[in-house]
A and B are shown apart, each in its own frame.
Chain A
């Protein structure tokens, strides 16, 4: 008796199909449910904060002293601290990362690419605490040789080192986007007498733009959310300033400092971190939406 088309087997195949489907769906649900859970906690704990403090006061106040008296809950110093570090990081990582990607995708020989790409990816694997101490104990003293006013804890070296840290995210994702631009588009341009430079900048980059912008957004979100590096190197002084030579405190550094401090869980002081966390969440969300819009607006689909 042949075992072909055994009815027992058939039943198993049917069962397997639905089990596998549910298993995969469950895995997908893990990350979605986590996100939802985080959002609910943020909203719930944040509510405890905003019951007492006016949202407008929180968003526009320029003094952040939630623990010291007189207490004041203006979040702008933390926002400015975050922005200044992020802008410095972006001004390093976006151009250098993009140019690295163009080099790897359009200029480098296969052999070079095979060596350089893994090295860049190792850079992405270094723990951020190492970057933090690198900024504090190496970059800052180095910069102090030229910049007399530079404080020990400062936004500048934290931003610069953060920029270096996120270069691999920009370069790796951008390169993936550029490599997947069809070869025949490059050939079309070369056949018209375009140089390698023109092909890279006028054909490949525009065609890969959605992927490149996505890499920018992911890298910047990472910069905004990065905690350890700025806690170590940028300082713990919430200050309303745009001067990168000064000490600042970012939103994330405040959250880290406060959650490890002596504030009782559930106290009003403790709730401040959820208010800041909520704002951080909104900022990243906004940036992702902006990125989504830019990609749709400027995309050259092929």
Chain B
């Protein structure tokens, strides 16, 4: 495994009960870069994403086979603590999901559960600045997070994730519930964050994948309804000269 690889997935199969949702994926995810996962609905890209920080553990009946090596250690080994993995591999969800608490407490929550003992005010300010939200909320940190707009809520969720200082951030269609302007703000943020973080982003929007990502992985859904990885390469190459015919058809909009 090359040093530039943060996460290396080997022979990953995901099942919900008897149903195989994802079939036999191998993938290397590069450090401090943005990897986009694209593909039609039901191709298992979100399911796959949720395996990378063991969020699928929380779904009744979900099981996996294969290995997900994070910094050379299989996160599914029996001696690995899933909560530690999740604090190092954060996640931002499709729909903004701030806690029904104040803006301040939304950030402080993650710090508290991870045993943070430093200056809380400073940490909150720092992560809000990183998420480009500080100027908009600095005068109302004690207001409920629900007083924010959808785009601001999503940036708050990103700030909340950044506060616990993860190494990798998984984003599951983070802009799909937002308007175009809020979407651009999130995209700018993603590009900025990759200088310090590794980002894996699921997106339905191919332009978005082209705009923000360095590498793109294309997933398809097979006859048996299982998702599989078709092609993974530099974004430039996927969008201009893909190897696989199916990728080209999808990119050019012949099916979706």
Contacts and interface: CB of A to CB of B under 8 A. Distances in A.
Contacts of A110: 60
Interface in A250-302: 300-302
Contacts of B44: none
Contacts of A189: 99, 109, 113
B33 interface: no
Contact of B97 (A188, A198, A202): A188
A302 B100 CA distance: 6
Interface string B87-112: 11011010101111100000001101
A195 interface: yes
Contacts, number: 76
Interface string A177-192: 0000010111111111
Contacts of A198: 113
A203 interface: yes
B9 to A, nearest CB: 19
Contact of A193 (B60, B93, B157, B164): B164
B86 A207 contact: no
B101 A300 contact: yes
Interface string B142-164: 00001000000000010011001
A206 interface: yes
A6 B141 CA distance: 63
A83 interface: no
B53 interface: yes
B55 interface: yes
B114 interface: yes
Contact of B91 (A109, A191, A195): A191
Contacts of A190: 55, 58, 83, 86
Contact of A192 (B58, B95, B113, B146): B113
Nearest to A188: B97
Interface in A8-47: none
B188 interface: no
Contacts of A184: 93, 95, 97
A188 B100 contact: no
Nearest to A109: B60
Nearest to A184: B97
A194 interface: yes
B84 interface: yes
Contact of B90 (A192, A206, A300, A302): A192
Given A188-B93, A192-B161, A203 B99 contact: yes
Given A190-B86, A191-B91, A193-B86, A185 B114 contact: no
Nearest to B83: A193
Interface of B: 53, 55, 58, 60, 83-84, 86-88, 90-91, 93, 95, 97-101, 109-110, 112-114, 146, 157, 160-161, 164
Query: When A and B form their complex, which 3 residue pairs have the shortest distance between CB atoms, in order from nearest?
Result: A193-B87, A192-B110, A300-B100
21 contacts: A185-B99, A187-B55, A187-B58, A187-B97, A188-B93, A190-B58, A191-B53, A191-B55, A192-B109, A192-B114, A193-B83, A193-B84, A193-B113, A193-B114, A194-B109, A194-B113, A195-B113, A198-B113, A202-B113, A207-B99, A300-B100
